[in-house]
């Protein structure tokens, strides 16, 4: 009985280790923490284009409040296999004035970039 319980426990542990946790769902191109939305900031998904031989992603942040909001953001670039492209981009900051908008963008020289994700946080 003890051997069966040990075997089941071992099997459960091994099955948990065998799952592929490195795969990223790249279909989600915008990740916004709830605090950003509650601060009055809204945006659409980033738009990709080619600019001077590089891949470019941009998004417009809208501030619907009567006071300015400082937003931190980072763009993550992925190839067609869903692997993140290096070098990794540093987080950046945008100050969005009251009742206004600001465009944020990122560029990568890696032409294998086929997807981008924008992460916003306060």
- Spell out the alpha helix ranges (H) of the chain: 2-17, 34-38
Q: Is the confidence at residue 74, as pLDDT, over 50?
A: yes
- Grouping H, G, I as helix, E, B as strand and the rest as coil, residue 95 is strand
The pair of structure tokens assigned to 54 is 């590089």
The mean pLDDT of the chain is 84
In this structure, what is the dihedral angle of CA atoms 61, 63, 64, 68, given to the nearest 10 degrees? Answer: 170
Q: Domains of the chain: which residue ranges?
A: 23-121
Q: How far apart are CA 48 and CA 116, in angstroms?
A: 8
CATH no. for 23-121: 2.60.40.3230
- Segment 18-33, tens digit of pLDDT: 444 444 565 789 999 9
């Amino acid at each position: 009985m003890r051997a069966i319980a040990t075997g089941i426990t071992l099997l459960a542990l091994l099955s948990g280790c065998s799952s592929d946790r490195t795969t990223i769902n790249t279909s989600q191109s915008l990740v916004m923490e709830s605090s950003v939305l509650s601060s009055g900031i809204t945006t659409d998904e980033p738009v990709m284009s080619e600019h001077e031989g590089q891949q470019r992603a941009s998004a417009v942040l809208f501030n619907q409040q009567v006071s300015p909001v400082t937003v931190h953001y980072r763009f993550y670039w992925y190839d067609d296999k869903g692997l993140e492209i290096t070098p990794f981009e540093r987080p950046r900051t945008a100050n969005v004035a009251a009742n206004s908008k600001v465009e944020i963008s990122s560029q990568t020289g890696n032409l294998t970039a086929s997807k981008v994700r924008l992460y916003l946080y306060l």
